[in-house]
Amino acid sequence: MRRFHYLAPRRLDEALSLLTPDAVPLAGGTDLFLRMERRQTQPDAVVDLKRIPDMDRIEPSDGGLRIGALAPMESLAASSLIVNGYRALAESARVVGSIQTRNRATIGGNLANASPAADTATPLLALGATAEAGRVDGSRELPLEQLFLGPGRTALESGELLTAVRIPAMPGRTGSSFQRCVRTAMDIAVVNCAAFVKLDEDGAVEDARIALGAVGPTPLRALSAESCLQGRRFDADAAAEAAECAAHDARPIDDVRASADYRKDMVRVLTRRAVENAFQRARGEA
């Protein structure tokens, strides 16, 4: 590993001023450490964010939730706020890597690494999350869709840091679900999928969001699957049609984990399961 300066600021503004183009932020390190070991990233300075108080906080905010970028997966999976209100997110955090990894890997790192297969990205897209980007002279919020530009590439500008994720309030008659297909428990998702539905008083879909992972250069919304559900009540046909639409929305490639065809098939299966499960939850049945 190439030598570097290790910096451990205790305040966010200090950290932001240290994030020069030759510096990288360090959260859980489960990805960064390896990239540095392999000399894929060779920063002059590493800015460890873990000494900054409260950057790992999960707290109610504007009726919804604000999750500090440093919150580790295990805290997300154990948070009653997330488990009770945003189940798809809790379900995704619970299956990331091993307990060792979940104790270190953070939500901010999972998103800022911009892996197309990032497990927390799909539920956050389905739940309508926004990313909070801080910089020395202020901060901005952007819809999560706009954060991801391609594998490993985000819309964060030089000197900007992902400081938190915000998820809107979840009113009644809403439900969400996360589904994933892996080769082995510790592997990266072959496909992952999250669904969110909001039902009206008659049980018809008022709002639906479906997100897919590992089937395109970024985690993506399955927009035609979403509009296919609009206004409909749940039945087997609705779920099957949404699943078919999602398979069209997916743009997978062949790689070492799976073929594009297999991924499309899995998008069908996972979307059907996620939609069905989200409906059940919106009706208070699961």
Residues within the interface to another protein (CB under 8 A): 1-6, 8, 26, 29-30, 33-34, 37, 44, 46, 48, 50, 74, 97-101, 103-104, 185-186
50 or 257: CB nearest another protein: 50
103 or 280: CB nearest another protein: 103
181 or 242: CB nearest another protein: 181
Task: Decide: 4 and 48 in contact? Cβ < 8 Å.
Answer: no
Residue among 218, 228, 230, 212 nearest 274 (CA): 212
Orientation of helix 87-94 relative to helix 260-282, angle to 10°: 130
CB of 189 to another protein, least distance (A): 16
34 or 169: CB nearest another protein: 34
104 or 283: CB nearest another protein: 104
Residue among 55, 8, 18, 12 nearest 159 (CA): 18
Distances (CA, A) of 253 to 17, 49, 93, 215, 263: 39, 35, 25, 7, 8
- By 3-state DSSP, what share of the chain in percent is helix, strand and coil, each rounded to 5? 35, 25, 40
CB of 180 to another protein, least distance (A): 15
CB of 14 to another protein, least distance (A): 17
Eight-class DSSP state of 54: T
CB of 155 to another protein, least distance (A): 27
CB of 227 to another protein, least distance (A): 38
